[in-house]
């Protein structure tokens, strides 16, 4: 089973305007494709507290929890506050600093780097579109299968529409500031299940909350 991410030379998530948006806690911020298509990113929500949709996923967590792409740490902090051990990882230094400052456990690390307790996490989180990390959902799910224990859980937020695409995008602040291109993926519920089966995951539950779509996978 491959766990190697597509090769990259930089971490665009550490560059402006994404890092700037996290430091200020406000947008606007978008992912822009080369054809001009824009995906709004919810910076204010990420920097806030868990909303009802977030809580619908957190209630399903079985500790300990690895929050992949933790951002400013709202999920890892909420889990810790409830008594569940959680570790957030993120490639953005500003995000990790923000998360740590809020009392969450967080590391400045890629999911494809060496991580603590590999194969021992009971739950993995891929929320806020983080199934798109690396632009290769299959490689990402295969890597998570190495991090989560047998029988463990992976909670994934998918696109609300049926889509399965790998694209180059860049951050756009809506005011003329753009970052460097990087690979990203958008995956809908059915496409996620197809990628999951190839990486030894089985879908056990799907639900929607506040207009967001989630799938729970079990490592088989």
Q: Which one, of 51, 52, 82, 46, lies nearest residue 64 by Cα? A: 82
Phi-psi region for residue 66, left (φ > 0), alpha (ψ -120 to 50) or beta? beta
Chain segment 82-140, per-residue pLDDT in tens: 999 999 999 988 899 999 999 999 999 999 999 999 999 999 999 999 999 999 999 99
Q: Are 158 and 187 in contact (CB under 8 A)?
A: yes
How many residues in total does the chain contain?
Answer: 220
Q: Are 46 and 24 in contact (CB under 8 A)?
A: no
- Among residues of the chain, what percentage have pLDDT more than 70? 93
Chain segment 114-129, per-residue pLDDT in tens: 999 999 999 999 999 9
Indicate yes or no: pTM above 0.85. yes
How many Å apart are CA 148 and CA 125, to the nearest integer?
Answer: 10
How many Cβ atoms sit within 10 Å of the Cβ of residue 81?
12
What would the two tokens of residue 180 be? 């460097």
Chain segment 60-75, per-residue pLDDT in tens: 999 999 999 999 999 9
Backbone angles phi, psi at 82, to 5 degrees: -85, 0
How many Å apart are CA 194 and CA 215, to the nearest integer?
Answer: 12
Q: Are 166 and 135 in contact (CB under 8 A)?
A: yes
CATH code of the domain made up of 13-219 = 3.40.50.150
Judged by DSSP in three states, 187 sits in strand
């Amino acid at each position: 089973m491959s766990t190697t991410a597509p090769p990259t030379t930089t971490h665009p998530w550490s560059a402006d305007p994404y890092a700037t948006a996290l430091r200020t806690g406000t947008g606007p911020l978008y992912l822009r494709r080369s054809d001009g298509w824009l995906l709004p990113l919810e910076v204010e929500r990420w920097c806030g507290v868990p909303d009802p949709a977030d809580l619908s996923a957190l209630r399903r967590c079985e500790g300990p929890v690895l929050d992949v792409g933790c951002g400013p740490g709202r999920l890892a902090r909420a889990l810790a506050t409830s008594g569940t051990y959680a570790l957030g990882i993120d490639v953005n230094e500003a995000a990790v600093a923000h998360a740590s400052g809020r009392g969450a456990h967080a590391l400045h690390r890629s999911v494809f780097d060496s991580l603590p307790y590999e194969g021992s996490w009971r739950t993995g989180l891929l929320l806020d579109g983080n199934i798109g990390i690396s632009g290769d959902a299959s490689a990402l799910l295969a890597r998570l299968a190495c991090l989560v224990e047998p029988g463990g859980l992976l909670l994934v937020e998918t696109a609300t529409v049926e889509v399965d695409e790998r694209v180059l995008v860049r951050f756009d602040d809506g005011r003329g500031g753009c970052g460097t291109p990087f690979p990203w993926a958008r995956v809908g519920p059915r496409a996620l299940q197809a990628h999951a089966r190839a990486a030894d995951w089985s879908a056990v539950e799907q639900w929607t909350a506040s207009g967001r779509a989630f799938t729970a996978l079990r490592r088989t």
